[in-house]
Amino acid sequence: MELGIGMFGDLQINAKGEIQPAQQRLQEIIAEIKLMDEVGLDFYGIGEHHRPDYAVSSPEIILAAAATVTKNIKLSSAVSVLSSSDPVKLYQNFATIDLISNGRAELMAGRGSFIESFPLFGYNLQDYDELYEEKLELLLKINKEPKISWKGKFRPELNNQEVLPRPVNNNLKIWVAVGGTPESVERAGRLGLPVMFAIIGGQPIQFKPLFDYYKKVYQAYGHDMNKFEVGVHMHSLFGENSNEIADYYYPLYSAQMNRIGRSRGWAPYQRNQFNGGRGSSGALIIGDANESVDKILAMKETFGLTRFSAHMDVGGPSHNAMMKSIEIFGTKIAPEVRKALKK
């Protein structure tokens, strides 16, 4: 099982509502990715947002910068909002990262957790499903065929057109991110694409039927189980002392849940929800190394994971807290998880 970190590029927001400068956060992110590589984590993913509380609107630029200061870690989006992107340009960008990084780039396509990119790039939300379907089809076709002819509804047609550059080995690893819809799971299984499930609330066991359904569809369409890959992305932060890291993180985490919740009609986030999420059956991995090892191994056993992604910057923890969490993940948690999986 690969172990890594996902981020959305959350900016730190103080008690006065003042937002951290994006320039500062972007420089911190590069330093954090460099440390991830140094402590031996397997992959890093960065999301795409177009909001004032996030620093990253172009994951590929962050990943290209990270490629120059790292040696081994895989570099992925988490996610690229495919519905409001041009698949041709997106593919070119990630192929370029792949060449710069000597084959370490991956692209994770998704619908995105917010909708700001649709009006920003001139797309109609009424076309939400059709956009994703068509653009995923084109993205996968480009990956298989260096020279393509294609015609769709939302993009000018391509006539025997080369898409360059090509990635290392002429193939780019493309993941898809899914939430909780069976339709998305069925599509991924039918296409034989690796899937990252976002489990950010409630009890993870509730997702078990979707994991099982994905595997069933994947096998039904005759895809090679030796290439079967499935991951989970869960809100995480690690510290030396479980109670101390929880007390530090709760105000930041709850503030972010409430900022998002106000626009989505959620009830105010409470400490008992946070504590419940941190429990053995909850979806938060926030605590010390021993607790985190146990919970990650439980996720592996429950879902048959090939990848675990700790989503580590929700609510904008300080750079120092992030660096400490990364260090603990790489030097204490990852070695114990890997040792247990070899038994």
Cβ–Cβ < 8 Å for 88, 142: yes
CA dihedral (245, 15, 34, 174) in degrees, to 10, reads: 90
Asked if residue 343 has pLDDT above 90, the reply is no
The number of folded domains in the chain is 1
Confidence of residue 119 (pLDDT cuts 50, 70, 90): very high
pLDDT for residue 58: 98
Q: 23-75 pLDDT, tens per residue?
A: 999 999 999 999 999 999 999 999 999 999 999 999 999 999 999 999 999 99
Per-residue buried b or exposed e for 204-225, using 16+ beta carbons within 10 Å of the residue's own CB: beebeebbeebbebbeeeebee
Percent pLDDT > 90 in the chain is 97
Q: 80-114 pLDDT, tens per residue?
A: 999 999 999 999 999 999 999 999 999 999 998 89
Percent pLDDT > 70 in the chain is 100
Identify the three-state secondary structure at position 208. helix
Which domain, by its residues, includes 242? Answer: 2-342
Confidence of residue 180 (pLDDT cuts 50, 70, 90): confident
Pairing state of beta strands 147-150 and 158-162? antiparallel
**Residue spans of alpha helices (H) in the chain:** 22-38, 59-67, 87-100, 117-120, 128-144, 182-191, 208-220, 242-264, 271-278, 289-303, 319-328, 334-342
The DSSP letter of residue 234 is E
Chain length of the chain: 343
Asked if residue 179 has pLDDT above 90, the reply is no
How large is the average pLDDT for residues 192-197?
98
Q: 281-337 pLDDT, tens per residue?
A: 999 999 999 999 999 999 999 999 999 999 999 999 999 999 999 999 999 999 999
Asked if residue 168 has pLDDT above 90, the reply is yes
Closest CA to 82 of 47, 126, 43: 47
Asked if residue 269 has pLDDT above 90, the reply is yes
User: What Cα–Cα distance (Å) separates residue 269 from each residue in 192, 262, 283, 299?
Assistant: 37, 10, 15, 25
Cβ–Cβ < 8 Å for 299, 251: no
Q: Which helix (H) or strand (E) holds 83?
A: none
Average pLDDT, rounded, for the chain: 97
Asked if residue 167 has pLDDT above 90, the reply is yes
Asked if residue 263 has pLDDT above 90, the reply is no
d(Cα 214, Cα 211) in Å, to the nearest integer? 5
d(Cα 26, Cα 55) in Å, to the nearest integer? 7
Facing residues of 162 across strands?
Answer: 147
pLDDT for residue 298: 98
pLDDT for residue 112: 81
- Residues 78, 84, 86, 89: is their CA dihedral positive or negative? negative
**What CATH number has the domain bearing residue 117?**
3.20.20.30
Main-chain phi, psi angles of 237, to 5 degrees: -160, 135
Cβ–Cβ < 8 Å for 51, 43: no
User: What Cα–Cα distance (Å) separates residue 224 from each residue in 98, 227, 228?
Assistant: 24, 6, 7
Confidence of residue 233 (pLDDT cuts 50, 70, 90): very high
